[in-house]
Structure 1
Amino acid sequence: MMKWKRIFILLLALVFSLALTGCKRAENEGAIVEAEQAKAELTRVKAALEQAQNERDALKTDMTRVSELLEKIKSEVANVKRARDRLQEQVNKLTRSRDAAVAEAKNAKARIVELQASSRRHRRPLPTCRRNLKQRQHHHLNSRDLKIRAG
């Protein structure tokens, strides 16, 4: 802003100098030199302004790229979170299934122990039952043979 004031003042001085018709040639040459200096300063300011605008545009472009990259990363993070949630649900389901299988196995083991005990109780009279069965079969065969002979 200071440069613009300076340029304006220099241009005003140049115009004022040229407006004075009664100036001497040396004064005119001084005014011309000042005007050329002001013009050179204006050219430098324009170049600096153009460079600043180019840098601003480059920063805007970089900012746009960064924003797009940020959105892409946010999307990927959301996808990873959804995948993690699905995997966690699968782990929970498998854990429940495993726990149910363990409980079922414990129940089955208890039932096996119960059936083994019952089997032992029934096995003790089994030889006696077999002997009784054999005796009855033998007695039945003998009775039948007697009926056949008698008849």
Structure 2
Amino acid sequence: MKQKDRKVWYERGLRFECTRCGACCRGEEGYVWVTDADIKRMARALGMDAGGFRDRYVREVGIRKSLKERPNGDCVMYRNGCRVYDARPPQCASWPFWSGNLESEETWRQTARSCPGIGRGPLYTCKEIRETATAHGYARIL
């Protein structure tokens, strides 16, 4: 059976609407992977050149690039809201449809405890969820 034909617990879809609360942007350390195209787009959104943005907000992690974090773990782009929301990286735009959140109904419920947008807003079909996750590299088990 092909991966896309496999039945999943969310086959009837899931509701989500970002409330811009920042819960997914704050507190925990991690990586927000970015490409050169992401850097250029975010720099434009802040009225900066890409080089200045890179120097100020991006760190090298091996051969990859990630947005920096504040000492408390918050994303450097978060200050009373995402400063680059409309130009945010694909990793951020695909939240909460990451494979770790979609492993089971229980992991989805756990994620919903910290994400007030889960369960509200438009209904995303199973196909849309898979396409979102796949397009942004988060389709490990979808």
Shorter chain as normaliser: what TM range? under 0.3
* TM-score (norm. length: structure 1): 0.17
Larger Rg: 1
Greater share of helix: 1
- State TM-score, norm by structure 2: 0.18
Question: Larger RCO: Structure 1 or Structure 2 (Cα < 8 Å, ≥ 6 residues apart)?
Answer: 2
